[in-house]
Chain A
Amino acid sequence: MIDRSPKPPEALMRAIAQDLRPVKPSPQPLQLALRMIPLALLVSSAILLAVGPRQDLSVLGPFLTWGASAAQFVLAIALIWIAAHESIPAGRLPRQIVYAATVAGFLVVVFVTLLTFSTSPVSAPLVRVPPKVNELLHVSPWITGFACGIGSTVAGGILVLFFSWVFRNSLATRPTVAGALYGAGAGLAINAGWRIACPFSTPWHALGAHGAAIIATVILGGLIGRHLGNRRLHIGGRRS
């Protein structure tokens, strides 16, 4: 038998009455993750449209180019799906799944990097830029590392900002974790596109520059998630 006697306090009812506009129910985690695909695909492939794919595609073959990137992209969407679950009060997934997906993301990036390097060890490629720039890149390869790191961080940052907007009403118990998860998703999605465009395959470049960009998006997502969580707490009103 349901106890229907308690009435909400007047102060609470007043606060409720201030904003009673109809709202649209949020989508389920899978729907939400699937809705992220078009934008993630667009931002991720922008670099391919800008500079074109790497020149050793024929050496790598379709499995190591499109296949490996597709796997990273699917994993990115899975991480966003987990972040969406983490944002529901009663829909959280077991911690083991969260940790396993995070470790899987890390391992896939390392594995693909090493496999790509062992198949096509390109350390001084010819980039589609003026010869003088190519010469400069050969003398100072760190410039390319810097460009890839900054470029993919900016692209990943755009995705993280978009995901943060989507997750702005998140009710995550651990908002930093939820933010870090969609940050990791953004980083992996961007890397899926950049690794096909980037002409270098050395592990120091792929893990140093591209890996740093993924870590940056994880940190950015975590910080934004934490900020949104704190803001929600302050909106709540009562502080003691």
Chain B
Amino acid sequence: MSEDQELRDVMIRYQGGSPEAFEEIYAQLAPGVRRYLAHLAGGAEIGDDLLQETFLQMHRSRSAYNPQYAVRPWVFGLARNVFLMNRRAARRWATIHESREDLPEFPVLPEAERLGSQDEIRRGIASLHPDQAEALLLHHEWGFSFEEIAGMLGISAAAARARASRGMADLRVALNSLQRTRA
């Protein structure tokens, strides 16, 4: 059975009232969602807070899940939703951006590892346009298809592919210029 189908079955058990199913979903998805939120919020601490809120929202809205949907994109989309709602409510977007200076837990792309050190890659990702960085990480780091990313971001699959591709191209340029500066 595929991982996605396995998750759908767990989700159905969870909708049926099983706390073990919730724990299983948390165990499978929390690490990835935490890193995604840390990327969006620009800090691991905020990411941890939002992670708890994401799973709380998931619990309260568990009836909104339809077994036809893939679980991972649904939960990641919910996490993004929670982040945006909190950003809107707290109106601290500027603060979040300022906090990016300390380069928090940006995931390091497997494709980019050969292009530079982890620190350089983090700096490179931080320098990208946020839309490009998000599409790039969702595809390369968390393995979502462009169709799934399109559904999460409210854009077409072609636009998702273009954002990720431009992001990777810009990342290469950023890493090259970082290395040239160092040399």
Q: Which residues of A contact B (CB under 8 A)?
A: 2-9, 11-13, 15-17, 19-28, 86-96, 98, 169-173, 229-230, 232-233, 235-240
Report which residue of B28, B73, B82, B159 has the largest number of chain A beta carbons within 10 angstroms of its beta carbon: B82
- Chain A residue contacts of B3, Cβ below 8 A: 2
Smallest distance from the beta carbon of A1 to chain B beta carbons, Å?
10
Q: Knowing A22-B17, A229-B85 touch, does A90 contact B77 (C-beta < 8 A)? A: yes
Residues on A with C-beta less than 8 A from B70 are: 90
B contact residues around A21 at 8 Å (CB): 17
Asked if A8 and B64 sit within 8 Å, CB to CB, the answer is no
Please give me the 5 A-B residue pairs with the lowest Cβ-Cβ distance, nearest first: A89-B77, A90-B73, A92-B154, A23-B63, A90-B77
> Does B165 touch A at the CB level, under 8 Å?
no
- Stretch of B19-27, B117-125, B173-181 lying at the A interface: B19-27
Binding site for A on B (CB under 8 A): 3, 12, 15-19, 22-24, 26-28, 30-31, 49, 52-53, 55-57, 59-70, 73-78, 80-82, 84-86, 89-90, 92, 148, 150-156, 159
Q: Are B19 and A5 within 8 A (Cβ)? A: no
Specify the main secondary structure of chain B where it touches its partner: helix
A7-B76 Cα distance, complex, nearest whole Å: 18
Within 8 Å by CB of A6, from B30, B62, B84, B150, lies B30
Within 8 Å by CB of A94, from B59, B85, B159, lies B159
Residues of chain A contacted by B56 (CB below 8 angstroms): 12, 15, 236-237
Interchain residue pairs with CB less than 8 A apart (29):
A2-B27, A3-B27, A4-B28, A6-B31, A7-B26, A8-B22, A15-B59, A19-B59, A21-B17, A23-B63, A88-B64, A90-B74, A90-B151, A92-B151, A92-B152, A92-B154, A94-B150, A95-B154, A171-B57, A171-B64, A171-B78, A171-B81, A173-B77, A232-B57, A236-B53, A236-B82, A237-B53, A238-B86, A240-B86
